[in-house]
Amino acid sequence: MALSPLISPPVIATILHPAPAGTIHPSQSRLALASLLCPFYAILSHMHKRTLQAVVEHLFPGAVLNGSQRLEGGVSADVYRLDVELTVGREKQVVLRAHGASHSGHPAQLEYTLLRALHQAGLPVAEPLLVDTSGKILEDPFLIITFVEGSTAIPPGEEHHYIRNMADLLASIHATATDNLPALPARLDPLPELFEFLPSGKEWAPLELLLQRLHNEHTTDYRDTPRLLHGDFWPENVLWQDAEVGAILDWEDAALGDPLSDVAAAGLELRYLFGPSATQGFTAAYARHQAVDPLRLGLWQVYVAAAAQKYMGEWGLPAAREHHMRTEALASIREAGEQLMAAYNN
């Protein structure tokens, strides 16, 4: 399998939308944007009503589309909830995910096959119902999956409980058998790509020198059995039902490789929301299931934070939000660099 980066630049731009410390819901900027575009979405839904009806009939012959709603949060795919009347008095809600020109994740067929395997393995994922890549119904490839009720919001004062549950959930993903999974890209080594993301300036020269030594003197490839990786594990991709996991969303960046890449990415997102203690608590909770190599974790933490600070200026975020994000990302690089130095010297 070809080596894949943890987060390619287009994907970074879609998933890292941190809020200032103390903010509970990570998608406020996208929700605000969606509210401005509601009239556009209404027109779009009206224009596509016949097309969406054709999608419904393809899956459920004779069924009727009673309504549709554009779902917020879909960035690399157009996502709709479809309210379907199967027969008189018998209704079902499903989700349509159409892979448009901006889609940057796995192809629709691979995403469908992966979701089917994960659902059969017992992971809490929406059941995939249909994939169509023919272009005969919709111009773009699309999937239909079951609709799962729930919320991605973490209630104030309950962060510790939710963060611990997220760590448990990620460990269960990494423990999933990979024998029956479709072919996925490998994610094994943050070097040498990491050098492209490091901030410039004298402050970072010692870290760059250390990373170069690691690259030259040691293999930084993940040498254990590759694990299933979610690839975009953060609070907005975990759906909760009364403080219990309802579903894990958005598997379009899944891979096989080093589980600490997922730990580092989730830790940075939690830091944006709740501060560095949340990252530490998440990592400690994960370590109850799986040993954490401080050197490898440090490498991935530098990778994720360095990539974020490199591209955040292109995201069009409000100045205060970008300042908060950049401050936390740079602090994360500094702390991970210190951790790397200590691990290297030992």
Task: Give the CA diameter of the chain.
Answer: 70
> Residue 216 maps to which CATH number?
3.90.1200.10
Distance CA 229, CA 189 (A): 14
What is the reported pLDDT for 76?
A: 67
Give the confidence band of 164 by pLDDT, cuts at 50, 70, 90: very high
Q: In b/e form, how buried is each residue of 107-133, taking b as 16+ CB within 10 angstroms?
A: ebebbbbbbbbbbeeebbbbebbebbe
Cβ 1 vs Cβ 185: under 8 Å: yes
Token output for 164: 């611990």
Q: How confident is the model at residue 23 (pLDDT cuts 50, 70, 90)?
A: very low
Position 22 pLDDT exceeds 60: no
Residue-wise pLDDT tens digits, 280-304: 999 999 999 999 999 999 999 999 9
Range in 44-48, 180-184, 265-269, 296-300 the model is least confident about: 44-48
Same domain membership, residue 318 and residue 215 = yes
C-alpha closest to that of 256 among 189, 303, 304, 187: 187
Q: Using an 8 Å Cβ cutoff, are 41 and 49 in contact?
A: no
Domain boundary among 98, 114, 146: 146
Instruction: Supply the pLDDT for residue 88.
Output: 85
pLDDT over 50 at 344, yes or no:
yes
Same domain for 269 and 305, yes or no, is yes
Q: Mean pLDDT, the chain, as a whole number?
A: 86
pLDDT of residue 74: 54
**Do 193 and 304 reside in the same domain of the chain?**
yes
Taking the C-alpha atoms of 154, 158, 159 and 162 in order, what is their torsion angle to the nearest 10 degrees?
Answer: -70
Does residue 19 carry a pLDDT above 50?
no
101-105, 157-161, 242-246: range with lowest mean pLDDT: 101-105
Q: Let me know if residue 325 belongs to a domain.
A: yes
Mean pLDDT, residues 312-339 taken together: 95
The pLDDT tens digits for 107-151 are 999 999 999 999 999 999 999 999 999 999 999 999 999 999 999
Whether residues 37 and 102 fall in one domain:
yes
**Is residue 184 located within the same domain as residue 253?**
yes
Where is the domain boundary, 122, 146, 170?
146
CA angle (59, 122, 285) in 5-degree steps: 130
In this prediction, residue 50 carries a pLDDT of 87
Range of the domain at 338: 9-14+152-345
The domain boundary, picked from 80, 111, 146, lies at 146
What confidence score (pLDDT) does residue 251 get? 96
SS3 (DSSP) at 78: strand
Shared domain check, 267 and 231 = yes
**54: domain CATH number?**
3.30.200.20
Q: Do 141 and 100 share a structural domain? A: yes
Answer for the pair 175, 250: CB distance below 8 angstroms, yes or no. Answer: no
**One domain, residues 159 and 80:** no
Both 51 and 85 in a single domain?
Answer: yes
Q: Greater confidence, 43 or 339?
A: 339
- Same domain, residue pair 199 and 268: yes
Number of neighbours of residue 34 by Cβ within 10 angstroms: 17
Is residue 34 predicted with pLDDT exceeding 50?
no
Model confidence pLDDT, tens digit, residues 73-105:
555 688 999 999 998 889 999 999 999 877 778
**Is the per-residue pLDDT at 55 higher than 60?**
yes
How many structural domains are present in the chain?
2
Model confidence pTM above 0.95: no
Contact 76, 252 (CB under 8 A): yes
For CA atoms 227, 232, 235, 240, give the dihedral sign: negative
23 found inside a domain: no
- Average pLDDT on 223-239 reads 96
Residue scoring higher pLDDT (37 or 249)? 249
Structural domain contains residue 1:
no
Question: Residue 57: its pLDDT value, please?
Answer: 94
